[in-house]
Structure 1
Amino acid sequence: MNTPVAASSNVLSSTDIDAFIARWRANEGGAERANFPLFLTELCRLIGVPVPDPADATHDRNDYVFERAVRLQDIGGIQRNGRIDLYRRGCFVLEAKQSRERGGTKEVASPEQAPLLGLPPPDDSDRRGRRSAHRSWDVLMRNAREQAEQYARALPTDHGWPPFILVCDVGHAIELFADFSGQGKAYRQFPDRAGFRLYLDDLRDPAIRYRLRKIWLDPHALDPARHAAIVTRDIARRLAEVSKRLEDRGHAPEPVAHFLMRCLFTMFAQRADLLDRGSFTQMLIDARDDPSSFAPMLEDLWSAMNTGGYSLAMRSTVRRFNGGLFAERSAIQLHREEIGELLEASRHDWTEVEPAIFGTLLEQVLDPVERRRLGAHYTPRAYVERLVIATIIEPLQREWETQVLGTVERERLSRPAVAIRAVHDFHERLAATTVLDPACGTGNFLYVALELMKRLEGDVLEVLADLGGQEALALETATVHPRHFLGIELNPRAAAIAELVLWLGYLQWQLRNRRTIADPVLEKLDNIATMDAVLAHDRVAEDGTLTNPRRPDWPDAEYIVGNPPFIGKGSAMRSAFGERYLTALWTAHPQINRSADFVMYWWDRAAERLTETGTRLKRFGFVTTNSITQEFSRRVITKRLAAQVPIGIVLAIPDHPWTKATTDAAAVRIAMTVVERGVPVGQRLQIVAEHGLDTDAPMLGFAATSGRINADLSIGANAAAAFALVANDGLSCNGMMLAARGFVLTAAEAHHLLAISPPAATGIIKPYVGGADLVRHLSNRWIIDAYGHDETALRTIFPAIYQHLLMTVKPVRDTNRRTAFKDRWWIFGEPRRTFRPALHDLSRYIGTTETAKHRILQFLPATTTPDHMVVCFALDDGFSLGVLSSRAHLQWTYANCGLIGVARFEQGHRYTKSRIADPFPFPDATPDQRAVIGDLAEELDTARKDVLDTQPDLTMTGLYNLLARLRSGSAFDPVAQDQRQRGRVDILAQLHDRIDTAVATAYGWPADLSDTDIVARLVALNAARHAEEKAGRVRWLRPDYQIARAGLTALPLPARSEQIEADLPAAPRRKPQFPRDAIGQTAAVLADLRSGAGLTSDDIARRYAQGQKVRPRIAATLAALARLGHVAVDGDRHTLRRAA
């Protein structure tokens, strides 16, 4: 690729620019398509950027070329070739107007062809290329934009989503659409509705040429969020200084908060020309010279802003603001330095402040604890956008682009009033759409939703103007407005900030789009309710009990989105709220298990609202902790997904950064889920690349998979729904949960106590193994296990041991809340009474650490007492170790485990016995197969232990790190190569490969199954085994122990048999009526096309009661959708190009 060159604005003369404009304005009609490469090449020279490279035959290096080849796939799986008119990797996809695919080439609509396509003939007016040119509905520009978005979706995954899409009408205009979120789902007019279309005449403006140059060379520099975040943080820093000084002087936080909010809105009003430009800054300059005048002048100004009227401080008449913000207009007297901070803040361009982060920063400004880390812990706007787009904008956009615009294209020529009405009605629905954030904090989600919906509204109004001109626009009285953005927030100060943030965002939008702002500038909305979102109650009793606890009512809304508080569960909730609040919460939400994370109370409440009869709610989306995939929180999701009225997850991101990372704090990790009613096909996003997490514009790369999303946020076979098998009952358990570290002894302490105690003490003082021991080296720790001894016997027979426990354990247990822990203080907190018998007759058992990067299972001596971080299997045979060490068990583990902290699977996962071990179906192996697997597993276990015994610098984790490097093909440096040799890593790999093959053979499977197929087969096998067990047939793993334990008699297993099925005739179904209304007709045709099969108009007509009578309307709808680029046409068959 050519090296980017900086262009200097003085290289071009006005004569050069005039010549370019005149040359290309003269080229019209059929020559446009043929000339677009020349036009764009000359445009590149005009704006001072490199010209495109020659195309490479392999396409691998075609990062900046004309006619870049891509492979498209329609909804039915049909693949076709496409070519991007001009592509620059990481920057843009450009599509020229009048692109039509015919036999792989693109042609224009000539004057003769236009009527055949339902298009007006080309405009021969010499007004082309001028902003004053008449604009009418241009279906080909719409088609080109849709085509460009399809091409962006078809780019290689490692290219990412281009931030810009450009649509070029050669010789006339270039339209700009941007999506800086990296999702490719919200390309919107850039920078706004007023300025997204650049005409040839506009190229005379150096700012326009600079904008285009940045799109070519550094598009992300145009992201408003980047500059806005810098401005916002500087303002917040100055406000923080004022807030701290006032706090030091004894001012209460709440009056300071409202005072500063009035100050900052006044600064915004000045910059937005709602006050005379510069007037407030001048007042601050005067007050800095005479600080005693500051408070009186400010109170005079705010009084005038509240009611409207003359302000002596401003020496002018002031507009009426009202809205409640200035109802309280008292000002705090500031010192000269503090006034100076406000003065510097007022000099900023307040129209560039980013409301999405401003609220969070302002809350930090006003909180003494949070102020110390000002700007170090907030959510970048791009992260908020990701959830808001998926929850709210996607369904609205889909309705707009397919149903509404499809109807418009069908009706615009024959029935223009119907087309206008379709757009008008959608605008009315959009303007009335209500969004609720039931944990709104300072309003960042609500603001982003407001702004993105305003952008969609801009697109709607643009089409309305194209169809009906200013007359049609004049009839629009509704608008997307803060009144429809509702919040629930417990903190009154945050709630007040949220309302202010919404108004700032709304007024910014109005000003950017040159919309007039009427008096009163602000309205009193009361749209943020100050209350607890998950618990309501009556009075508080004298003992602190909350009486009549219940779930509070939430306002009705079409969409719910938000970020509930990350408190955690169990002890974390108890520490945050106290026992009485928790008791009331559990009483109000009996359907939620008490071990679920606090955020799940929001998730469950929204899910309930989604399934209520007559609900307005269409979707909800929440940020939750990424532990949502772990068992206790997952139970909440499982119950709702399997309810009588089902819901489904349409987007799942199991692991995502959330807060901005800093040098002293890692980015918090979260999960995102978006849910709607029904059983939808969902999309699961997995992060494959992360860059700039410590910046205001982080860049993430995703790999997407589609399918039914399970409760554990996986796609494919639902391993989370697998049944615990009786065959595995009683054979696995976590080790001992101590509930006091005094039980643990060093080797010296153990030997000393054994030396001064009776010989029977060897049954009490035992070797101890923890989770870390299994992945490193055994630490030679010991433990006192007094299970089976009462307190008197322990004190009289083993006094030295009793004395040690009395000193080290009892003081800790005396403070424990659980009565059993206090009363039996000398016994482990969880001594595993029911699991101990499973180990009695064994000389060894299998253990694995609960949390691990690598899933390693090994034999442990039966004399060893395991810690609760060790998952134990009461199995002593090599066959069992081999199966549990196999790829089949590993993939089953991954499919069922929860993520640990900020990690993904390759960094750490948790082995949950109830979800992994209990439902896992072992293969029904023959004796020979058991022997082969057992021998390999014994060799594997011995080989690893021999290495660790002879190579003390190596660890089990280290061996498997080297194994992972070997399998990836990565190079070994000299140190790693030496460790590979001494660790016998290649032998380790060979043994694992042989075990995997042998276990696959025992299952009767091919050895080269994909990970997904392995899990799917195990899920199916689990279901078959469960059915067997319901019929009384159990494939016991240790029949001698398990049958006796269960008090049962062994029954013979059934012989293998085939399921006999018969197809029953379906009952005849009455055909539906084809809708009469225009939007309904378009929606019906789209629903039929979603079947994925290529359909003709006759095929669709036969699905309706009216039959051939409605075929013309169906054919017209298909033609309209094809012209807009939503439908691919092959002969007379039609297929959706994407799921619309």
Structure 2
Amino acid sequence: MGLSWNDIRANAARFARDWKGHGYEKGDAQSFYNEFFEVFGASRRRVASFEQPVKGLPDNKRGFIDLFWKGVLLVEQKSMGHDLEKAHQQALDYFPGLKDADLPRFVLACDFQRFELYDLDENRSIKFPLADLPKHVRAFSFIIGDKPAAFKDQDPANIKASELMGQLHDALLQSGFVGHDLERLLVRLLFCMFADSTGIFQTKWLFRDYVRDHTDEDGSDLGGKLQHLFEVLNTDKSRRQTNLDPDLAQFEYINGDLFAERLAVASFDKNMRDKLLKAANFTWEKVSPAIFGALFQSVMDKKKRRAIGAHYTTEQNILKVLGPMFLDDLNAELAKIMADKSSRRTAMLRAFQDKLASIKCFDPACGCGNFLVIAYRELRRLETEVIKELSDQRELDVAILSKVNVDQFYGIELEEFPARIAEVAMWMTDHIMNVLLSDDLGQYFARIPLRARPTIRQGDALETDWSSVLPPEECTYIIGNPPFVGSKQGEDEQRAQIHRLAAMKGRKGTLDFVAGWFLKAGAYVQTSRATIGFVTTNSITQGEQVAQLWPILFQRYKLEIFFAHRTFAWGSEARGKANVHCVILGLCRAQQAPSTRRLFDYPDIKGDPIEVSVKSISPYLFDAGGLSDPHTVVARLSRSPADRPPMMIGSKPIDGGFYIFTPEERAAFEEIEPESVDLFVPFIGSHEFINGESRWLLRVDRLSPTDLAALPHVRHIISQVRDFRLGLIKGKNKRKIKEGSADGAKLAEYPTRFHVTIRPTEPFLVVPETSSERREYIPIGWAEPPTIPSSLVRIVPHATPLLFGIITSRMHNAWLKIIGGRMKSDPRYSIDIVYNPFPMPVLDDTKTAQIAELAEKVLEERAKWMPASSLAHLYDPLGMPPDLKAAHRKLDAAVDKSYRKEPFASDRNRAEHLMGIYERERAALLELAAKPSRKRKAAVVEVEV
């Protein structure tokens, strides 16, 4: 073959550009096909003729074939816009007048702008527009004597391909090929398959065919053959042995250190070889950059994935960061330049290209580099538009024109395998963009051997000095999705890192691991104009974490939120994908903050956002323009103000579940020990209260020694509780004891008692700790003694209908859902953040009576359906009784009006109003919080309320 396929693709791009919009059958056909054959480095005159006469048409007419290559190709050419189906049939009508030896295998119907090629031997066809000719040149491989290629593309690379690589990883791992060598091998194989598919290797499918044709079917020699191939890929062609196998000699010199290290030789079997060949048969050029993260995630151990918080963001979500961070502005800037018709336009385009080439992106938790590759791809797309505009259809050197390169991108990654994947992904993206630019300009260019490389540092981002990777004054954008690990899930070392970075006095706090990246980024940009854009769990914008993290970012590091996406459902394209609800936060230094900020809201967390412009953005991600201080956060308040009765958490058994029984377990126990019948009392948590289900608590704390001696099975339960608590003390789940604020040894000394017992003596208000996000209202209600509440509910003794009416209203729910924390996306009720700091309305006697009366009406409407219907049924969004909903609406309206006369447009609007009240009351609340409180020191606590 005189030309490589990359040369042919470039020729095809020029041909498509030259003939765009042109084509008249009689006047242009000969020029068109002379130039078409030249695309492949072939001479039309040597093989085919125009206007070949033919007899035997229908009605015995004589005709002329537009272009005829005996035994190979027949072309029926039409002017632009003509019916190609009719043209195809006209071509077939010539066949009876041809000798059998001259019958062509291929028929082409064309109108200059559309191609329809038919392979009559294989009964296949392919149809495409002129602009797509570079993508389909291999369909015409017969022109240069190659074996005809299948018209149907190979299967596109997708999740299935990454799963296949995951299976290959698992098979190698089980065989004992592990660690560094395994990870490097998989990265090299991925690169080879991509190079095979995209033209980095000049002969397409060179790698696949090498594996298929040069290794034994049982896979026994595959490891050694791959090792030899890697050595060839790492050797300049001028330094290779002269007697090298010709098939190996065709491979390009890659460089870039990708193949420099000598790995141990892997032992393959037939199954592994088959998996590799199947993966190699995918069209990897069609891969989205997001697939590389999916590949990595698919081969990682599930427990390891959870431990390091490895979550991979979809391309759509990455663009939610990059768009408002810089791409939207760059696109707008380019559009403005394109619209400029003055003499300054060329200089402006060149200055814009230089600006693109000066951008440096840094992802300090880069994983497989998804953020970096997509950011690079988008910058190259913008640069390509500039180059096309500057080229003015001239023959230009792409190598000189393209200034944006992979060495503008930096990352830190803890694990070696994804760090190497990130490097390879950047090179792959570079080649994809080079090919697209070549197609646009009609000149092939590839950056092989690799010279520029991204900087991907392997290490712990929270321990690494970021300025040693990229000096902050050189950085333009900090991007990424740091690990999603909650404070309760993190390892001790991770919690220590966060505490050290936060440098908070006193209590360690409950910051999630992801907060470490915000703290490091805040410190890093102090000598930089870089902006920050992170995808993160919504936990750092809710609950008690807000008051711990954001004052540091606002006050210590002088940052502002200049764009944000409120909570949305995060998506991943990988096996074992995570279930996470995220927000996106864009931060900059205060002096860089724009006068208006962009806030994206999600009416449907799985849908598209609605964008609004606001003056400032609160860390709770609402419009803070109405606040005197937009940085206002709700501080924990451990005691209730005088305008409401105290709320408390329920009982904490810390018993290993041995004192808690289902109805069936209780019945079985009473059958064994009938004397225990009076020891069981109802025990409710959020689930039981909302769903109307029963659990029972075995109360043994008031048994006399004599009574206990007569109950051997109860004694056995007590011994199990003691053993469980001793097990905690010895090292299993020590944290559970610590979280209960109890001394483990002392708690084990009192096995008949709970850590904390709350024993109501009169009806009490019950507030579930968590409730489904689907519900419009939190199902709040009353319970009565002898019911014991668990720590999964909050209770208010001595509550009134007025209090019930206020905290069951939409106003209070808005505060809970926006200010309070969440379990995934479900609201989580907190005494210190939600109840105690909640701004109560100022009521006169009339309003007090009105709200109390409407609250009673809500309870009356509930009572019509209970107990046959549970609170879960009554507050199901689809099944809520109309009269109950109407009662709530009237109560909501009354509570709303107790705050202001004007109606509220949304829950976010309600929360913004409440935050304004809280801001005015905050000083008094902080003074209340500063008063000393009694600390429990006893191993067990009993409270009658």
Is the shorter-chain TM-score for this pair beyond 0.5, marking a shared fold? yes
Deviations 1:976-1020 (A, max 9, x none): 7xxx8xxxx344234323433443454453567654543344333
Q: How far off its partner does 1:428 sit?
A: 2.1
Change (3 A) 1:564 1:635: same
Q: 1:308 — aligned with what? A: 236
CA contact (8 A) 2:718 2:751 kept: no
Q: 2:113 — aligned with what? A: 203
CA contact (8 A) 2:564 2:583 kept: no
**1:167-186 to 2 correspondences below 5 Å:** none
CA contact (8 A) 2:373 2:426 kept: yes
Q: 1:444 — aligned with what? A: 370
Q: 2:870 — aligned with what? A: 955
Q: Does 1:284 align with 2:284?
A: no
Q: How far off its partner does 1:532 sit?
A: 0.6
Q: How far off its partner does 1:321 sit?
A: 1.9
Q: Does 1:623 align with 2:535?
A: yes
Distance of 2:282 and 2:503 partners within structure 1: 52
Distance of 1:21 and 1:433 partners within structure 2: 52
Structure 2 counterpart of 1:602, one-letter code? W
Residue among 602, 605, 618 paired with 1:710: 618
Q: How far off its partner does 1:294 sit?
A: 5.3
Deviations 1:430-473 (A, max 9, x none): 1131111111112222111111111111122234335xx86998
Residue among 822, 832, 844 paired with 1:926: 844
Q: How far off its partner does 1:365 sit?
A: 4.4
Structure 1 counterpart of 2:201, one-letter code? L
CA contact (8 A) 2:599 2:612 kept: yes
Distance of 1:880 and 1:367 partners within structure 2: 50
Q: Does 1:938 align with 2:861?
A: no
Distance of 1:368 and 1:947 partners within structure 2: 45
Deviations 1:683-703 (A, max 9, x none): 333445688xxxxxxxx4333
Q: Does 1:323 align with 2:256?
A: yes
Q: Does 1:531 align with 2:439?
A: no
**1:340-359 to 2 correspondences below 5 Å:** 340-359=274-293
**1:578-977 to 2 correspondences below 5 Å:** 579=492, 582-583=495-496, 586-591=499-504, 593-610=508-525, 612=526, 614-617=527-530, 619-640=531-552, 642-643=554-555, 645-660=558-573, 668-678=580-590, 679-680=593-594, 681-688=596-603, 700-707=607-614, 708-715=616-623, 721-722=633-634, 726-727=641-642, 731-740=646-655, 741-744=657-660, 767-777=682-692, 779=694, 781-782=696-697, 784=699, 786=701, 803=715, 806-816=718-728, 817=734, 818=737, 820-825=743-748, 826=750, 843-852=762-771, 853=775, 854-861=777-784, 863-901=786-824, 903=825, 908-945=826-863, 947-949=865-867, 952=868, 954-961=869-876, 964-965=877-878
In structure 1, the residue corresponding to 2:866 is in which secondary structure? helix
Deviations 1:794-831 (A, max 9, x none): 76896679836632422222222236133124489986
Deviations 1:888-911 (A, max 9, x none): 32333333233432x4xxxx4222
In structure 2, the residue corresponding to 1:622 is in which secondary structure? strand
Runs of at least 5 residues in structure 2 that lack an aligned partner in the other structure = 1-18, 28-80, 82-109, 117-126, 133-152, 729-733, 936-945
Aligned-residue Cα RMSD (Å) equals: 4.7
Q: 2:480 — aligned with what? A: 562
Change (3 A) 1:755 1:509: same
Change (3 A) 1:671 1:281: same
CA contact (8 A) 1:551 1:588 kept: no
Percent of residue pairs bearing the same amino acid type? 22
In structure 2, the residue corresponding to 1:624 is in which secondary structure? strand
Q: How far off its partner does 1:340 sit?
A: 4.9
Deviations 1:189-241 (A, max 9, x none): xxxxxxxxxxx9973556664989xxxxxxxxxxxxxx999424454455445
In structure 2, the residue corresponding to 1:701 is in which secondary structure? coil
Distance of 2:303 and 2:927 partners within structure 1: 62
Change (3 A) 1:647 1:1009: closer
Change (3 A) 1:883 1:202: farther
Change (3 A) 1:364 1:527: same
Distance of 1:587 and 1:820 partners within structure 2: 26
Change (3 A) 1:1024 1:832: farther
In structure 2, the residue corresponding to 1:389 is in which secondary structure? helix
CA contact (8 A) 2:290 2:315 kept: yes
Change (3 A) 1:423 1:811: same
Distance of 1:392 and 1:436 partners within structure 2: 14
Q: How far off its partner does 1:623 sit?
A: 2.2
Structure 2 counterpart of 1:744, one-letter code? I
Q: 2:15 — aligned with what? A: none
CA contact (8 A) 1:734 1:870 kept: yes
In structure 1, the residue corresponding to 2:565 is in which secondary structure? strand
Change (3 A) 1:292 1:892: closer
Q: 1:252 — aligned with what? A: 178
In structure 2, the residue corresponding to 1:642 is in which secondary structure? helix
Distance of 1:653 and 1:202 partners within structure 2: 51
Change (3 A) 1:1015 1:342: closer
Structure 1 counterpart of 2:690, one-letter code? V
CA contact (8 A) 2:431 2:446 kept: no
Structure 2 counterpart of 1:313, one-letter code? D
CA contact (8 A) 2:839 2:918 kept: yes
Q: Does 1:455 align with 2:365?
A: no
Distance of 2:324 and 2:753 partners within structure 1: 46
Deviations 1:380-415 (A, max 9, x none): 43333333333342343345445x668x55xx33xx
Q: How far off its partner does 1:357 sit?
A: 0.8
CA contact (8 A) 1:533 1:554 kept: no
CA contact (8 A) 1:379 1:658 kept: yes
Q: 1:489 — aligned with what? A: 413
Structure 1 counterpart of 2:618, one-letter code? N
CA contact (8 A) 1:440 1:487 kept: yes
Distance of 1:393 and 1:911 partners within structure 2: 39
CA contact (8 A) 1:660 1:667 kept: no
CA contact (8 A) 1:774 1:848 kept: no
Structure 1 counterpart of 2:191, one-letter code? F
Distance of 1:635 and 1:381 partners within structure 2: 32
Deviations 1:1053-1080 (A, max 9, x none): xxxxxxxxxxxxxxxxxxxxxxxxxxxx
Residue among 448, 469, 490 paired with 1:573: 490
In structure 1, the residue corresponding to 2:694 is in which secondary structure? coil
Structure 2 counterpart of 1:396, one-letter code? L
Structure 2 counterpart of 1:305, one-letter code? L
- Give aligned pairs, total: 750
**1:967-1046 to 2 correspondences below 5 Å:** 985-1003=881-899, 1005-1006=901-902, 1011-1026=907-922
Q: 2:98 — aligned with what? A: none
In structure 2, the residue corresponding to 1:573 is in which secondary structure? coil
Distance of 2:932 and 2:451 partners within structure 1: 74
Structure 2 counterpart of 1:314, one-letter code? P
Structure 1 counterpart of 2:246, one-letter code? M
Q: Does 1:360 align with 2:288?
A: no
CA contact (8 A) 2:414 2:458 kept: yes
Q: How far off its partner does 1:503 sit?
A: 0.9
TM-score normalized with structure 2 length: 0.69
CA contact (8 A) 1:439 1:489 kept: yes
Deviations 1:513-558 (A, max 9, x none): 216556752237471111011136xxxxxxxxxxxxx999663321
Runs of at least 5 residues in structure 1 that lack an aligned partner in the other structure = 1-13, 23-170, 172-199, 213-226, 537-549, 692-699, 966-975, 1034-1041, 1047-1140
Distance of 2:302 and 2:789 partners within structure 1: 46
Change (3 A) 1:753 1:616: farther
Q: How far off its partner does 1:488 sit?
A: 0.9
Structure 2 counterpart of 1:303, one-letter code? E
Q: 1:389 — aligned with what? A: 323
Distance of 1:879 and 1:803 partners within structure 2: 45
Structure 2 counterpart of 1:823, one-letter code? K
Change (3 A) 1:307 1:388: same
Q: 1:1038 — aligned with what? A: none
Q: How far off its partner does 1:935 sit?
A: 3.3
Distance of 1:767 and 1:235 partners within structure 2: 54
In structure 2, the residue corresponding to 1:628 is in which secondary structure? helix
In structure 1, the residue corresponding to 2:516 is in which secondary structure? helix
Q: How far off its partner does 1:479 sit?
A: 1.8
